[in-house]
Amino acid sequence: MENFAATITSHDTYVEGIPHETFRELRATNPVAWTNEPDGGRGFWSLTKYEDVLYASRHTELFSSRMGIRMEDMDEEETEARRTLMEMDSPEHTRLRRLVSRPFTPRAVHGYEDSVRELAREVLDNLNGANEFDFVKSVARELPMKMLGRLLGLPDEDLDWLVSRGDALIGNTDPEFTDYVVDQTDTSAYRLLPFRSPVALELFEYAQQALEQRRITPTHDVLSALLEPNSEGDRLDDPTLKNFFTLMVAAGNDTTRYSMVAGMQAFIERPELFARLPLMDDAERKALVDEVLRWSSTTMHFRRTVVEDTELRGQQLKKGDKVVLWYVSANFDEDQFNDPFTFQPDRTPNDHVAFGLHSAHLCLGAHLARLELRVMFEEMAKAWSSVEGNGPSERFRSNFINGIKKLPVKVTWR
């Protein structure tokens, strides 16, 4: 295959779209593919089959998250300084996950539905009956931001700033979101900070202040809860708290936003689907949300590192090799999904890997994200009788996040 590595690693590729054809060929002819990194990285194995992504996710004793979960190489000092829940293996991971998971369980999230609905209505009300707007900026960016603010107990006036900081981190490959574009500027001075960005310092400082306030006067929010010891008397230290705060701002916002945008795009392309939305029952709307998540595959990959020499489909993987799990390819694997390139709103079963796999690192915010998507789609269907595109959209520059960052739309209010 001609230079597939450049195609799948280049951030610029994804400005045009996901290179599905290249992933399809890799699945068929080279499913465990050694992938050279164009910019001096030491290269990695690309896993593109669903079955192999599942295998690597489940065998954490062979495929570790500790040495980093992004494609980039990081030395020991960098990894240590930037470590969050994501870059841990058990038992360290299990301990922290237990400490932070309470607000994200299905039961806890079920209790947020009224809040999410109230916020979704507020977002739509704030459009003031406008017929034309950018769906990303005016709708999809707003709900996850407001919901995170409510969960963490942060003042409304801080939220826009906070989310712009999160965007600068996750958007560290797109010049629209940051001055510190990792592959275009020298970011070595920030190598010990999340996403090699000084923006992380601003978030750390904000988190520190928010935590100090809650130590003096506890509030009823997730941040106060994180300061409490758990039933075994275990509690989080300050660096862990600040890293977790940054992780939530970065991981909880744009992922949900871009998945919501993918849903809107699906409605624009299929007007009959949007028209049918108010008639669907709960199970049908849940299935629709999962198909949007599969289709969107918003986080396109995560990485692991080989713990001891092993073999996969005849390839010899050596201790220390990087392995990239291409969730975006697994979600379109024709051996797992019937007719994967057809959007099927009623697809069942739909064991997509948009949130990772049912293994240790399965997305902590999966239930919350599903709820936000479903409720927003429901409220959109109540508010609007039709939606259509209104000019060219623009895609995010990233081999990591699949997102439409601008989607001009025209809607008809009921």
Stretch that binds ligand HEM, among 14-22, 75-83, 311-319, 353-361 (CB under 6 A): 353-361
Measure the CA–CA gap between 125 and 115, rounded to whole angstroms. Answer: 15
Residue 406 in contact with ligand HEM, rule: CB under 6 A:
no
Rounded to a whole number of angstroms, the distance between the first and last alpha carbons of the chain is 51
Candidate residues 172, 173, 197, 298; the one interacting with ligand HEM per rule CB under 6 A: 298
Residue 194 in contact with ligand HEM, rule: CB under 6 A:
no
Which residue's CB is nearer to ligand HEM, number 97 or number 286? 97
Candidate residues 32, 119, 136, 251; the one interacting with ligand HEM per rule CB under 6 A: 251
Residue 302 in contact with ligand HEM, rule: CB under 6 A:
yes
Candidate residues 26, 119, 223, 248; the one interacting with ligand HEM per rule CB under 6 A: 248
Report in angstroms how near the CB of residue 193 gets to ligand HEM at its nearest.
18
Stretch that binds ligand HEM, among 155-163, 197-205, 243-251, 314-322 (CB under 6 A): 243-251
Report in angstroms how near the CB of residue 385 gets to ligand HEM at its nearest.
27
Candidate residues 306, 369, 376, 411; the one interacting with ligand HEM per rule CB under 6 A: 369
**Which residues, other chains included, contact 245 with Cβ-Cβ below 8 Å and sequence gap of 6+?**
152, 203, 206, 207, 210, 211, 223
Return the SS3 of 209.
Answer: helix
Stretch that binds ligand HEM, among 72-80, 282-290, 354-362, 390-398 (CB under 6 A): 354-362
**Radius of gyration, CA atoms only, the chain:** 21
Ranges within 95-124 binding ligand HEM (CB under 6 A): 97
Which residue's CB is nearer to ligand HEM, number 132 or number 150? 150
Residue 330 in contact with ligand HEM, rule: CB under 6 A:
no
Q: 112 with 368: CB under 8 angstroms?
A: yes
Report in angstroms how near the CB of residue 399 gets to ligand HEM at its nearest.
14
Measure the CA–CA gap between 257 and 242, rounded to whole angstroms. Answer: 23
Q: 309 with 317: CB under 8 angstroms?
A: yes
Stretch that binds ligand HEM, among 23-31, 178-186, 356-364, 406-414 (CB under 6 A): 356-364
Q: 366 with 385: CB under 8 angstroms?
A: no
What six digits make up the tokens of 33? 């593919």
Query: Which residue of this chain has its Cβ atom nearest to ligand HEM in the complex?
Result: 365
Residue 85 in contact with ligand HEM, rule: CB under 6 A:
yes
Residue 136 in contact with ligand HEM, rule: CB under 6 A:
no
Q: 46 with 26: CB under 8 angstroms?
A: yes
Which residue's CB is nearer to ligand HEM, number 149 or number 356? 356
Cα-based torsion angle of the residue sequence 329, 334, 337, 343 in order, rounded to the nearest 10 degrees: 80
Report in angstroms how near the CB of residue 259 gets to ligand HEM at its nearest.
4
Residue 204 in contact with ligand HEM, rule: CB under 6 A:
no
Stretch that binds ligand HEM, among 189-197, 269-277, 348-356, 404-412 (CB under 6 A): 348-356
Residue 26 in contact with ligand HEM, rule: CB under 6 A:
no
Q: Which long-range contacts (CB under 8 A, 24 or more apart) does 31-34 make?
A: 31/313, 32/312, 32/313, 32/314, 32/315, 32/317, 33/4, 34/315
Residue 154 in contact with ligand HEM, rule: CB under 6 A:
no
Q: Nearest 5 degrees, angle CA 145-CA 136-CA 259? A: 75
* 397 bridge partner residues: none
Q: Nearest 5 degrees, angle CA 330-CA 334-CA 335? A: 85
Which element (helix H / strand E) includes 157? helix 156-170
Residue ranges binding ligand HEM (CB under 6 A): 65, 69, 85-86, 97, 247-248, 251-252, 255-256, 259, 298-299, 302, 327, 354-356, 361, 363-365, 368-369
